[in-house]
Structure 1
């Protein structure tokens, strides 16, 4: 006879428990035994029972769960099952999914196994699991020319295990109600007051704010704050060191002194550029019958010896047949003209930040990784176990965005100058321009000439986080792939890589994405990119919205007048008639809080509670990862105490473990 001590843990989220009975069956190498759990574990609790089997079942292979019900199929969220056998050894069976219906759910013992390394029963299980997963998790084309998405028309159509848990759902819907009420109150409060001075924005500058938001409110006109944002603001992804004067820069007659200054800064390695050419030619939106406008600015900045990044010139439009010499704005111009030129730049930056670097390069890329992982990697695969905590909630938050943010009639259509179809065109261009190197900070920062700049805080922290994630990934990978040929010979891993590059990202191999893995180093680099994108990069791009986008003149979601051509004709009235109106302002302020607020169920990077791996070695690698993150946290905290503007977007305790908002 063999005695087995069985522990079954239920999730702590609302409605995770169930009143249905559960039948549990142990399957070992030498036999099987069954027991019935009465009652089932309640929400957030762990139940332990003892089973006396007629014989020792040998090494346990599977636990089978079958939920029984009469009238109500009361879904149950099972976290894990642990079984201590007659020899005192404990086997873990991770689940972390919903159990519903009366079909048996078979959980394999949690030790990660590669295809071909498994005994026959495990190989059969993984093949059957993938077959079922590929039926459940399908691809679809949401819009031509964009990354593929999961095949679900609405969030309600998503597979249950990709949905928000109840607390997350309730919190998100509560937040939606809050912002809806906020918009209504601000519109009522300002009606029918005139809206013709910058000070009028103060009327609705209340609600959720940060200390940095208040500083932006006070100092947004300053050139130093304008330049700082390209290094460490909400979108630090466009700045690059100039290696020559930009080809599309047109210097009008009489600007020889400026040209000499630019060439001097270029020779000193202190000339930087920000080019918004991706926006060129995209048609502006029409909101409430009023035409909105877009520009494709080119900004030239100089880095002072003390580290300040200051603008030298702004060209708002590329040359065209109708205007072969576009207006060039300078700090010496009349203050309203220079201020309006900077507003145009900040508005262009808002469009690229939200659509290219936030939505495309984190959310949509994260969804491609998530769907490919569910379709190609069985639960036994070590890469599935590594990535599973980092794809939590990504698919549902994207489904919600497609139905209310970037959909027809969504927020971009209602408030943004690039709505009405222009945002889809920009996303198409962004995908065509997306390269593998641009997603990997060591390559991207080198390509942009930003390595070694002391006050480039995003660049510094991104490299440090990348190094720590890379060490973690390498520790896991080397436990299961002893040689390069093991990587090459893993059919599931190779299918996963191909599905991301050639299917989800629409044939991205010509942009540097691998279609197969030939070595452990190549695999580690790709996995580091995946985790960095879904955690640290999203944090860097998402968190700054509240700080930098809440004061609307600093980041206008739309411009209501065409870019100025005659600088001397610009007045403060021109500035106000160009900036967003009350309706657009209210929507932007509410949206930035909704999208960047700290989530109540936030899981910091590396501190997920799910234990997908069994055995001491992977757990030791995770503990080292956590220790490294804690060390970086202390470094950033100490550094920030010395800074005028602390940079906290990549502080490990602020980085969410997946894309959840």
Structure 2
């Protein structure tokens, strides 16, 4: 194919000798560097013509970056360069570009755009770091935005396609360097620090029946001299851990991440400074003091700040310390007021709000319909809850009738905890029960707590049962607190980390290793993997490691990740699809008359109602996208890259779950492909948003969602029971985490709940040039419009006074499934409490 180009030049005999193709190159503007110069060059590969001698894709001469100008794309400060190619007449249509960074420093390449004719531009979406060729010893290749199945790849691009895939798989050896684009798998052998002592040793997760786990991206750091299997880690918090360049934060994201982390550190430090001058460095004394210290401007205390800063200097890298120093001088130092206490400071304490948050809070996908009464655990251990605890509270129904009508629900944090509870409680300052909570669905659609069972292990389980009518009301309030502690731990470690972050990572790695960037499924999934590898690497380095923030704040402590491994042993990808999850929990039944395929048995269930709307939108979009490229089942079965991708996910990335026949669908039909991709996109986008971005709204007020307890509930006729009766508030604050742990936990969830300005939300893409397929663009616009309709429905539901669970006593509207499609170019960021980012990015 010959390019019909207006920029042609003539030879001396008057005939056109070559075409001039002009273009632009856009990079993110570095904070302190000048950006690439003339030593950085670009070449083009033809998608239609081969070199006569080599039979490889025809390669153009080099073009240098020229005429640098400061520009802006969205909120990103950029440099825009001009390039010009002289192409021979038969060069054909460019299909790939080769970027050679001849400068000293890496840069973040956003995109390259070329004018190939009067009416046609072609686009290369890059969004990756390009490192100096002196380090990489290789040029950087980017393909055109045209999608090709492997069997339909233009001949000149076939070798480039295969060579690119081979080059990024690596060989499983050596320590990865920051400039290497290598995607390989490894076990979670990066959590412990056995060289520090036995108490810092952690088991390797993954690869064994004892500790199954998803795989992570391999880094290849040196192994510990102590045990020979654990990777060594830097002593300081390592914010520059290895992530392949394609998956590293953009400059904007990394800058904002550092800034929000710095602010969190300041918010953590200042209440600690105050405590030094208030005579109680261990506990908050009252609700009023907690609110005053955490959510109000602290008194300036130069001496205290100096002490705190000296302490900080010993535990964070120099660049973070310097940023904190600057930030303290210019910004107010306080946490925002969490939504759960913004409208009514006491609503969080009501039974109705306690129950509502199981349906519309930050962990809304654990509650299930009770199937057996009394509840029975593993090993057929029967609960201590009896009919006498709940009879007469079921609006005139018998227990069996209420169960038959699907009106008794259970929040069950019993079975998975019991095997670990003795070890967890043996840790210093940890006192935790396993819990079961039964609730009744009232006629108005809200839930009423009926009974709480708290259990400790022993030769026989030791249980205490609490009901709302108990004479000493403080005992019931403490029982609810222990349930919240269980739920907080499960939320952070399982619902959030394991079921979204950890389970998505193998899909990211397999996609990079097995699907070419030209593959249509790669283009479909790419935005749903943005920043996941980087945020996960930071999570392991700072939060999940031995002595990390999770171990310091959550009740499982040093057993946190080991506990999540035991729960992963029963994880099934098929059950992560929202309709299947709701059916499994007894909250929905199959119903072919519904667009989602299921009918809800609990009508006022905000997470499920909004979630099913989102699920339907995603599945409709995925369906129309897939049939564009796969007209029949044969096309799916014959796609070698797609089949290799799925095989690697099942047998390597999630290899510890490969033998469960119910864990995976067979990838042998268009229908199963659509279901698999819909489930994956659901997990990465809506599921993650539902359990992440509401954290500060609900857990930002620590008494509502404590992360551990330091005392058990006292029994009658003891000194502790007398103390509880004398001053319930003081006892409560001695029971929940101390102020250090509380403030550290708040600093963490403030960062996690923060929407960065470069966030790309569901129904959005980084640019309209992500594909040149107009039909795909039309269908994607339809997807966006469908999501806008969901947004309208969510707003209308939140206004409906009949739907008690949409707002609740705390007056927090349910917006965690609100897509926020109009939030483009980062015009609204921070603690917004709404929005579904495309990916697991926080």
Q: Establish whether TM, by shorter chain, passes 0.5.
A: yes
| CA deviation after TM superposition for structure 1 residue 382, in Å | 0.8
Deviation (angstroms), 1:443: 0.8
> Which aligned pairs between 1:246-285 and structure 2 lie closer than 5 A?
246-247=375-376, 248-251=382-385, 255=389, 257=391, 262-277=399-414, 278-283=416-421
Determine if the alignment matches structure 1 residue 192 to structure 2 residue 279.
yes
* 1:249 partner SS: coil
1:636/1:163 Cα in 2 relative to 1: closer, same or farther (>3 Å)?
A: same
Is 1:545 aligned to 2:683, yes or no? no
Q: Contact (CA 8 Å) 2:61, 2:86: kept in 1 or not?
A: no
Indicate the larger mover: 619-628 or 244-253. Answer: 244-253
Match of 1:371 in 2: 509
Partner of 1:139: 185
Query: Whole-Å Cα distance in 2 between the matches of residues 126 and 60 of structure 1?
Result: 14
**Cα drift, residue 95 of structure 1:** 2.6
Whether 1:430 aligns to 2:573 is no
1:522-541 alignment runs, 5 A limit? 522-541=672-691
Indicate which of 619, 623, 626 corresponds to 2:781: 623
Equivalences for residues 509-528 of structure 1 within 5 A: 509=658, 510=660, 512-514=662-664, 516-528=666-678
Residues 324-403 of structure 1 mapped to structure 2, 5 A cutoff? 326-333=463-470, 334-403=472-541
Q: Alpha-carbon deviations, 1:213-244, whole Å to 9, x = none?
A: 43574212211001001111010011111122
Displacement of 1:205: 3.7
Q: CA deviation at 1:494?
A: 1.3
Structure 1 residues 168 and 82, CA, compared in 2 at 3 Å: closer, same or farther?
closer
Partner residue of 1:106? Answer: 141
1:67-107, Cα deviation, whole Å (9 max, x unpaired): 3x3xx423233333333335854433333322233333333
Contact kept? 1:283, 1:293, Cα under 8 Å: no
The equivalences for 1:452-463 within 5 A come to 452=600, 453-463=602-612
Q: Using the TM superposition, name which of 97-106 and 494-503 deviates more.
A: 97-106
Taking the aligned partners of 1:111 and 1:201, their CA distance within structure 2 comes to: 56
Aligned partners of 1:487 and 1:519 also within 8 Å = yes
Distance 1:35 1:214, change over 3 A: same
Cα distance, 1:11 vs. partner? 3.2
SS at match of 2:603: coil
- Answer whether contact 1:162 1:395 (CA < 8 A) is retained: yes
Given the superposition, is the C-alpha separation of residues 224 and 317 from structure 1 closer, same or farther in structure 2, using an over 3 Å criterion? same
Aligned residue among 739, 745, 750 for 1:588: 745
Question: Could you tell me whether the CA contact under 8 Å between 1:216 and 1:551 is conserved in 2?
Answer: no
Tell me what 2:347 maps to: 219
Question: Contact 2:466 / 2:476 at 8 angstroms: preserved in 1?
Answer: yes
Partners in 1 of 2:421 and 2:437 — Cα distance?
21
Cα 1:288/1:434, change in 2 over 3 Å: closer
- What is the distance in 1 between the residues matched to 2:653 and 2:88? 50
Q: Taking structure 1 as reference, are residues 132 and 318 closer, same or farther at Cα in structure 2, changes over 3 Å only?
A: same
Determine helix, strand or coil for the equivalent of 2:656.
coil
Q: Would the aligned equivalents of 1:502 and 1:515 in 2 still touch at CA under 8 Å?
A: no
How many angstroms does 1:264 deviate by? 4.2
Number of residues of Structure 1 aligned to a counterpart in Structure 2: 656
Aligned in 2, Cα 1:13/1:355: closer, same or farther, shift over 3 Å? farther
Preserved CA contact (<8 Å) 1:303 1:310: yes
The structural deviation recorded for 1:38 is 4.2
Q: CA deviation at 1:505?
A: 1.9
Aligned-pair Cα RMSD in Å: 2.7
Work out whether 1:499 is the aligned partner of 2:648.
yes
**Closer, same or farther: CA 502–597 of 1 in aligned 2, 3 Å:** same
Paired position in structure 1 for 2:799: 641
Alpha carbons 1:5, 1:85 under 8 Å: kept: yes
CA distance in 2, matches of 1:253, 1:91: 71
Shift in alpha-carbon separation, 1:134–1:50, aligned structure 2, 3 A: closer
The SS at the match of 2:113 is strand
Aligned partner of 1:597 in structure 2 is: 754
Instruction: Quote the offset at 1:380 in angstroms.
Output: 1.0
Q: Unpaired runs of 5+ in structure 2?
A: 1-15, 50-57, 71-77, 171-181, 189-203, 206-211, 222-237, 296-334, 377-381, 589-599, 801-805, 821-834
Tell me which protein shows more helix as a share of its residues: 1
Summarize the Cα distance change of 1:392–1:251 in structure 2 as closer, same or farther, 3 Å threshold: closer
Aligned to 1:21: 39
- Measured in 2, the distance between the counterparts of 1:521 and 1:567 equals 64
8 A contact 2:551–2:557 mirrored in 1: yes
Displacement of 1:365: 1.6
Q: Secondary structure at the match of 1:365?
A: helix
The answer to which of 52-61 and 399-408 deviates more is 52-61
Equivalent-residue separation in structure 2 for 1:231 and 1:539 (angstroms): 15
CA distance in 1, matches of 2:455, 2:747: 30
Which moved further from structure 2: 202-211 or 390-399? 202-211
> In terms of mean alpha carbon deviation, does 438-447 or 160-169 score higher?
160-169
Q: Is the 8 Å Cα contact of residues 271 and 301 (structure 1) preserved in structure 2? A: yes
Task: Assess if the C-alpha contact under 8 Å between 1:241 and 1:448 holds in 2.
Answer: yes
TM-score by length of 2: 0.73
| Alignment pair present for 1:464 and 2:613 | yes
Stretch of structure 1 that moved more, 607-616 or 559-568:
559-568
CA distance in 2, matches of 1:624, 1:252: 53
User: Residue 40 and residue 147 in structure 1: after superposition, are their counterparts in 2 closer, same or farther (change >3 A)?
Assistant: farther
Q: Which runs of 5+ in 1 are unaligned?
A: none
Deviations 1:357-379 (A, max 9, x none): 00001111222221111111111
